[in-house]
Amino acid sequence: MFCEKAIELIRELQRMSDGQLPAFNEDGLRQILQEMESLYEQNQSDVNEAKSDGRAELIPSIKLRHCCLLRNQRCVAAYLYDRLLRIRALRWEYGSVLPANVRFHMCAEEWFSQYKKSLASFMRSLGADGLDITQDMKPPKSLYIEVRCLKDHGEFEIDDGTVILLKKNSQHFLPRWKCEQLIRQGVLEHVMS
Amino acid sequence: MEQLTHMEANLQRVKKGDAKASMHRMEIDRIRFVLSSYLRSRLQKIERFFPHILEREKSRGEGDPSLLSPEEFAFAKEYHANTETYLKAVALKRMPPNLQTVDMLKAVPEPCLDSFVFLRVKERQENILIEPETDDQREYVVDMEEGSQHLMRYRTIAPLVSSGAVQLI
């Protein structure tokens, strides 16, 4: 049946509903584009025949193929755009530099780097030196927080100049605003007692 | 924003360990959070409804103020161009000739202006026309007293929100 491959692509994304990004289904996309090409060619020849020989009974099948073409286009656009939205969410979650395993599935490097640039120039334009609005995702509850280090991260300098060594499983009492990004990256864990 | 930079400058001058420093710091954090949250919401709305927002900007009259800051407008245009380029490069240019564009206005869902919102009236309003929702209802008018709170469709009171006569809660 026509358009089945397109629906399959959409289902693939729907299965991973928590925003994860599956590998780019290059094969699936290629099959859909091939199906579209063959549908279009069939339609072209039927249209010519209908016009020249006056065969009006071809018109319903021309209409059907055209609907399938539109449906395929819509599904493909939806698939690609949904992936872009997930990639965008990654920028807000992880920051400018994505971890390697995530980047591997992306296949939208150009879009991502352009999006980063747009976002960065917007943030730079706020106020005198710019404001990073990807920080401060939650309302601040307290000034300092207790954090536990989940992996070795090396040395970490806080505002007054003290250097803290972040070793795995060490616990520290650090200013909240310095830790936020490391918490999001999974290096530190907020300990709520 | 200026308040933030001013406060951060103040903070540098206050001695470390002074109680005032923590108060200052908390205040800075709170302000920064509220500001960031506000700007984030705006950006998210722009990304979500970009074709409709850009269309409205295009058809905006000469005297009407823009709803976007110049930087937001630039961001919206870049987002639009970026997404279109991506879709074209990856899929659309490999499709049959009559299907190589996607009408963004139709493809991206419109913001639902008919959703109900809570509002508080700041200036007394008279004779607000409420459109019927179903065929059995008829249109009627309400008067809104100052300080009263209502729940109604956004579309009805949209112009009042822009003029500042009512405030969304």
**pLDDT tens-digit readout, A36-95:** 888 888 888 888 888 888 777 888 888 888 898 889 888 888 888 888 888 888 888 777
Q: Do B29 and A176 touch (CB under 8 A)?
A: yes
| Pair B23, B99 in one domain | yes
Model pTM?
0.77
* Segments forming the whole domain that contains residue B32: 1-109
pLDDT averaged per 10 residues in sequence order, chain B, 169 residues: 65 58 76 84 88 85 77 90 89 83 82 81 76 70 80 80 79
Select the residue of B16, B74, B107 nearest A77 (Cβ to Cβ): B107
- B66 vs A159: which has the higher pLDDT: B66
For this complex, say whether ipTM is above 0.90: no
Q: Are residues B150 and B96 in the same domain?
A: no
- Looking up residue B50, the CATH number of its domain turns out to be 1.20.58.1030
Among residues B109, B141, B160, the one where a domain terminates is B109
* B63 and B121 fall within a common domain: no
Give how far A17 is from chain B: nearest CA, Å.
18
Domains defined for chain A, CATH in brackets:
4-125 (1.20.58.1030), 144-190 (3.40.5)
Burial class (CB in 10 A: 0-12, 13-18, 19+), A95: middle
**Average pLDDT across chain A, whole number:** 81
Find the DSSP H helices in A96-138: 100-104, 109-124
| B82, B109, B136 - which closes a domain | B109
Same domain, B19 and B61: yes
Q: With the C-alpha atoms ordered A181, A186, A188, A190, is the resulting torsion angle positive or negative?
A: positive
Distance, in Å, from the CA atom of B70 to the CA atom of A104, rounded to the nearest integer, reads 35
* Residue A127 region by backbone torsions, left for phi larger than 0, else alpha for psi between -120 and 50, else beta: left
Q: How far does the CA of residue B121 sit from the closest CA of chain A (Å)?
A: 28
Residue A11 has pLDDT above 60, yes or no: yes
Give yes or no for B94 touching A (CB within 8 A): yes
The reply to whether B132 and B83 lie within a common domain is: no
- Nearest by CB to residue A33, choosing from B35, B47, B95, is B95
What confidence score (pLDDT) does residue A124 get? 85
- pLDDT value for A28: 87
Give whole-number Cα distances, A57 to A46, A61, A83, in Å: 10, 8, 41
Residues B58 and B123 in one domain: no
Point out the domain boundary residue: B61, B88, B109: B109
B67 and B33 share one domain = yes
How many domains does chain B fold into?
2
Per the CB < 8 Å rule, is A127 touching B33? no
Chain Cα centroid distance, residue B9: 31
Residues B89 and B149 in one domain: no
Do B36 and B85 lie in a common domain? yes
User: In which band, very low, low, confident or very high, does the pLDDT at A13 lie, cut at 50, 70 and 90?
Assistant: confident
Interface touch A133/B40, C-beta < 8 Å: yes
- Using CB atoms, which residue from B22, B36, B91 is nearest to A80? B91
Instruction: Quote the CA–CA distance of B124 and B135 in Å, as a whole number.
Output: 30
| Shared domain check, B100 and B33 | yes
Three-state secondary structure string covering B75-130: HHHHHHHHHHHHHHHHCHHHCCHHHCCCCHHHHCCCCCCCCEEEEEECCCEEEEEE
Higher-confidence residue of A177 and A188: namely: A188
Q: What is the CATH number of the domain that holds B161?
A: 3.40.5.60
**Do B126 and B103 share a structural domain?**
no
Question: Coil, helix or strand for A156?
Answer: strand
B98 shares a domain with B34: yes
